[in-house]
Structures are given as structure tokens and as C-alpha cells.
Structure 1
């Protein structure tokens, strides 16, 4: 049987970084001579070289923009070339001829590359060597699985340091592409949503880990594959994305703490689309209120001045928690329930479970964040919004980490999926 051909796209601004991309290409071929390197020029101006597969004029044409690039500000040029590059790359993707994508860049080149990579399927290898990779890369990566490698020096002329970094990146993307292409048909079917096992998502935080562990083991024992998402903003967005892609059969949304960060301004917000995808697509789900007792910030000295007088808890040196107030909890309850109610296409497939004795490990009686008034405000708001609807509200006289609570929600989710 003939060896499968590997295709790796290298996309970048070749009017400013042609030499660096040609070196990247040579290093990929050195790692594996059978790889087909598809070099896409997304620069402002046309560049000529025999190694370029998709020229800058073709990328520009595919953007559908008729304006002169030379007259546009830099930001508009980047948006235009992103649109064109996406259109070109989609052809290779739709034909099943893409096994990896790599790029080199400063902030502009990284913006183009990251935007073309974020919409590609999860687990397809994606790598960017970037001058901005040592800082906050969340705006580039989003909820995708892009790998970023710091270039150490600017990508502005080859030197010993950059050659070594680019050589490492070339070997990495070649190896990842080989691994991606060699997956057996069962694994590939699973990536496309056709896995034999049904897949369930669970949301988790450190303060809900005991509940998630019990529920996960229960679900795995009855044959489900379980994806656990850390509720750090990116985790919630990644879960919503997989739901939109049709890759999940059920959701045990125990930990909805990202809503608190969205409301108050913490660092782990998942945005306004949180809690919408499962409801919109009728995926069976059980939603709870795990860790809505807290808003998340970074190290203690990064907590905004206006919150310094609030009840703070140093979870670890990098994470500081702030207790939500009764007013905030009332609004969180309204938002959670209203969002479900607004988007649910199958309300009988959605249930909200309330652990009446505590919504996190530190919100039970005797712990730092125990606040009955705040919890009651949260519960009452949910009851009020969902009263009379087809979304059931189940109240359990236990805290969220009680094994009996975790077992019950897991069993009920299995029932909803079967129904």
C-alpha cells in the first residue's frame, strides 16, 4: 500500500519574510522529504518565487475585496488577507488534503495565521512561531488548540538563534502531521463525530473536582467517553464549540462559574455564548450552579481596587477568589435560567439541579464562602424564572461534592440521553 501523502500549509506575509519561510520549508522537507509544503502568500504586496504555491494576488482575489490593498490601513489589509487565506485553506480542508498548518510572524503575521487556524478542526496540528508567544496569547488562541513557540529574536533575517527555533518548529509540525495522518479509521471517525462511544462533557473547577470525579467514573463505567472541561473561560468556550460541531451527546454542566466572571469582570469569563449551544441543538444536559460563589482574579495584587474590601480567598499564588454577593447571585440565577429558557429547543431534555447545602467545596457550612443569603438569592432567582416552564428544577438536600449528588446527576443524564 502506498504511503499517504502529507500536506502542510505554511501561511505568512512573504513580502517581508520570504527568506524565513523558505528556510522553514527546507527544514520541513529535511525532516520528511515526502511532505508537500503548500506555501501561501498573505502579504500586502506580491512576491515572486517558484516555491510559492498560492500567490498573493490569488489570496487577495479569494477575499472578495475590490479595494486597493496599497491604499488600505494595515488593520484592513490584515482582515482582507485573513478572509482570502481562509477561503484558500478551506479548499484543502474540504478535500481532506490537510495534515498540518504552520506560520512565522510578528503581531501582524501572527494575527493572520491565528485567525486562519482558529476555525480549523480541533486536533488538526497548528503551530505558530511568534514574537508575541511569551506574553498573553489568549486573543490569538481562543478555544482552539494552536501551539505557539516563542521566536526569541525577531523574525527579521536569519541568524543562528532563529535557525534553531525554526528548525525545531519544522521538526515539530512534520512530526505532528505524520501522527495526524497515521491515525486509524476508528480514531478519524471519532474526530468527525462518528465514534462508537457516546461522548459527554463535564465542567470542572478545583472546588467541584470531587463531584466531577464521581460523576466521570460513573459515566465511564456505563460506556461513555467523558471530556472534562476546566471552567477557565477557554474551557467553557471549547465545550460550546464542540457542541456546535455536533461532537457531544450530553452535557453535565456542574460548574457554571464562568457566568460569575462574565457578570462581575473576572478573568475566566467564557462570554455571552456560554450555556447556549446544548440548549440550541437539543443536546441533553443537566446544569448546576457549581462555583457561582466566586469570581476569579489573578495574584492578589491584581484584584481591582474597587474589590479590595470584598471577601477574598487566595486559592493559590496565581488565583485569587472573590465571594459573590446576594445581589450578584440573584442576577446570576436570572442569567443562567433565562439563557437556558431563551435557547432551549428541547426543554424536556434540560434540567437544573440545585445542591442546597453548598455550591462549592468552600461554600459549605463552616467554610470561608458559606453564605446562605447569597445561595438563597441564587436558588430563588432560578426557581422564579423557570417556574411554569418545561425545564425541570431539581433540589437536593446535599452539597455539590456529595457523592450521592454526583451519582444522581450522572444517572439522570444517562436517562435523558436514552430518552
Structure 2
């Protein structure tokens, strides 16, 4: 008697619409041949034969066969061509790892095609592997969660560290379940599960070392966490990806926790009057502050209009108009094609220390520009007046209006800021609108 789970599998994955297995007369031999019949109101004919094995594989055979079949990337729907007389093929068939499928011509006797399909034994093996992997992942996440919760993050000596700890903690705990780990949009979509878990270990490691050391280098993060030979190299392969996502989650780069800089500086380019605790910038040329200086300094401006653009070309073109920014009391800031934490902190400092009367957002008219405009709006949305320069070159006074026009525009076109740079008269119109 063929077990019901085997029959259920064959019905679900091997049989086609309207087909049935004819089980009467089937004997339990080494190999069992099961006729496939197609039944309609007018016909009853044999359309194929399935050959399955009846022997149960032992433990060693399971491990070996599973590893071998994994290389074939077999799925329930995939068809394989194998040499039917080879010992390996016969062994797989005997133990139910594969099923032999023969399709017959309309006479019900002549062979039309022959292939091999995934058998119930391998299907169940893969399901068991998934369950084991799920449990392993759950155990790993629980261990990471416990490790993180044991870190004393209440003794942060600066407001920046305290902010980082809370942001990382919130996101860390929200993904510490297998389903959340897989589905969360907090990770890069292309990251596999193990890379996501390793990133969480990295977060625990860098938070942990930052609570006990004011300064540390990259190698110390892994070495301190794993406390074994090779621990310092565990995160090396993913250094860039992990540091970038840390910055995205925390809103600050790892240097803000005390990591010795790897030499990576993010400049924020601007033109206009800005005053800092340790610096002072005047109208005229294009200036720059760096991500590192932003955590040591606090900036303000006398500008009444904060104008944020995407491209350097626009920044340098407007800054080149003598006295324009000064006369119009404008601080012009460039996101340089990507809103990083340095841009966010500089803009937030200006908004907090010297709130402007209005903010103007001007980005490219393409999907990236649309995304940047949205990210900038999230930073400045508490400002009483926020304006956008739409694709037709006119001022738009609400996100809804701007988003609607951009969505319609992007269905058929793309355009860079530089295509409608304009002149002083137009710029003054935008500011005064």
C-alpha cells in the first residue's frame, strides 16, 4: 500500500489537470509502476506511468543523496534527464528521491517522452531542512536579542550616543524574529538571511564596544565581540555594506560612536552665510563642512530661505551670480545626488538653530530625484513654508501637488535640473512666490 502523503505529493506536483492514479492492481515491488489515467465524460485512457521506489533510505544515505541532489537544483516542477541504467539513478529511484515519469501517446502504449522528477523522499527532506534552518535561525536571533538586551546602553555620555543607541535598539528588536527578518524593508532586498543575521551581530558588537571604550578601530569590533582567533576578521567582507546600513539605521556614521575614522569623509557643499562654534563662512564662494566636523560643531545661518538642490552644477551656477544669495538672504545647500546623514545633520542644525522662513527643494526630474525630494521633505516638513520646483518650472506649494505632477511626468519623461537652470529673474520669482 502506498502511503497517503506520497499519493498527495504525486497528485499535487506530478499529475496534470484531469489526471488520476490507477492504484488497483498495484503491487509493492522494489519499483512500483502506477498508471496515470485521464478520465472525462466520454473517455478513460492511460496517458502515462509513474515509477516510484518503496525502500526507506537510512541516515547516511539521506545525507549523501540530499547533498548530491542539491547540486541539481531540483524542484517539484523541474524535469531531469538521467541515465536509467546507472547505479546512482537506480538507487535514487529505489529510495524515492526521484520519480520516473513516462508519458504515452494517444494509443496508450507507445512511449512519447520520459523524464525524472523530484520524489517524495527528497521533497520531505527539503521540508525538514527548512524546518531545521528556521529553528536554527530562530535560535540565532534569540541569542542575539539576549546579547543585545544585556548591553548597558543607559550610560551613554553624549546625546548623540543616546540617540544612536535608541534608534538601533528599536530597529534591532523589531527584526529579531525569523518572519520579520525576511520581510523587513530595513535591510537591502538582495541581502540573504545569513547576511542579515551577521549584520545584527555587527550591531551588537559595535554597540557593546562603544559602551566600554571611547575610541576603537574596525578590527576591535569583531575581536572584542567574538573573543577568538579570527574574530577581528569576521565582518571584513561586509565592511562597506554594514557601515552604510548602520548609518542608515542610526542616522549617524559609526565614527559618532567612537570608531576611529577609516578616512571616509562626506562633504556637505553649500554657499551662503553660516556660523559655527569653531567656524564661520560668508557669502561668495562654495564652502564645505564634513561629516566629522558636524558632530563637533553646531551651525546656524542668517538666511531667510534654505534652498536645497541635488546637483553641484546648480550649486556652482547660482553661487556664481555675484551678491544674488546675499541680496536674497539664501543659504544654498547641495545634496550631491544622495541624502546622507551628514546632509541631514547639517540641515537639521540650520533648522534648529536659526529656522528659515521657507525651504525650497529642487531636484532632478527622474526617479532618483523624486526619492531625494521626498527624503529632504521628511527632514524639513516642520518648516512653515516648503516649496518645490516642478517639472514645468513653476513653484508647487504642497507635497501632494508635487508628487502628483512628478508621477505623471515620470510616466513618459526624464529631465535633469540643468535643463531648466533659468536665470536670476526666474530664481527671484521662485523665492518670492
TM-score by length of 2: 0.32
Using CA pairs under 8 Å that are at least 6 residues apart, name the structure with larger relative contact order, 1 or 2. Answer: 1
TM-score by length of 1: 0.33
